Amino acid sequence: MNTANTANTAKGARARARTEITAAIKEAARGQLAAEGAAKLSLRAVARELGMVSSALYRYFPSRDDLLTALIIDAYDSLGAAAEQAHHAAADATPLERWTAVCEAVRGWALAHPHEYALIYGSPVPGYSAPQTTVPAAARVGLLLIGIVRDAHEQGRLTGHALPAELSREAERMTADLAPDLPPEIVTALVAAWAQLYGLVGFELFGQFNRVVEDREPFFRHAVVRLAHGVGLEP
């Protein structure tokens, strides 16, 4: 018997088992999010649902915050992947059309995953502070939008608007942090559009549009085109 091959086989089986159990824990936790909300997420309750003892679950997620962080990263990555897929499908379109495709993908993902959207863009979870490890996943949609605007800027297809003097220092700081190759007035408009995009989605998802906006898909499309115009993207 080849001892090395046996050891590798056993190691691979353990890795697969760990991956499967980790996935099961996350799935049970997502169910708890849907039923109880993120603030009531409990490792003990997840362990009971899976028929595990709490001490066994702690080997996978040492604390509730570790599990929350994993769920948050997964949600951001799933949202980012949906937006990137929509952007790829519109690769030959105009910057405005690509912008709209990404925004519509964000809305579509949120409507399909309301509890995960609430986890990342709803009320903060008491006692939890997201670590830096969540930032790369959280930035995926924003980087797509920046890239679309950057392409339009390089093509000379971007129009900007002057900023008030009181905002110039903050605009320069944001530009240095987010997109040093873009004009500060464009970066400022991008940050505002990013916030308004999630505000539109949140208003629809959390019921603020009830009895106000009924035909929501064309309303959303119109709104995100207006956001694009504010950033400087034109047809």
**How far apart, in whole angstroms, are the C-alpha atoms of residue 129 and residue 92?**
40
What's the Rg (C-alpha) of the chain? 22
Strands of 49-193 (E only): list them.
none
Q: Which residue has the higher pLDDT, 5 or 198?
A: 198
Residue 235 has pLDDT above 90, yes or no: no
Could you confirm whether domain 1-62 is CATH 1.20.1050? no
pLDDT in tens, 21-41: 999 999 999 998 888 888 888
The pLDDT score that the predictor gives to residue 6 is 53
- Positions of CATH 1.10.357.10 in the chain: 69-231
Q: How confident is the model at residue 114 (pLDDT cuts 50, 70, 90)?
A: very high
| Contact indicator for 106, 79 with CB cutoff of 8 Å | yes
Tell me, what amino acid is at 55? S
- Positions of CATH 1.10.10 in the chain: 1-62
Place of tokens 């049970």: 28
Q: How confident is the model at residue 63 (pLDDT cuts 50, 70, 90)?
A: very high
The pLDDT score that the predictor gives to residue 118 is 94
pLDDT in tens, 120-150: 999 889 999 999 999 999 999 999 999 999 9
The conformational region for residue 207 under phi > 0 = left, psi -120 to 50 = alpha, else beta, is left
The pLDDT score that the predictor gives to residue 16 is 81
Residue 81 has pLDDT above 60, yes or no: yes
Strands of 18-72 (E only): list them.
none
Could you confirm whether domain 69-231 is CATH 1.10.357.10? yes
Tell me, what amino acid is at 116? E
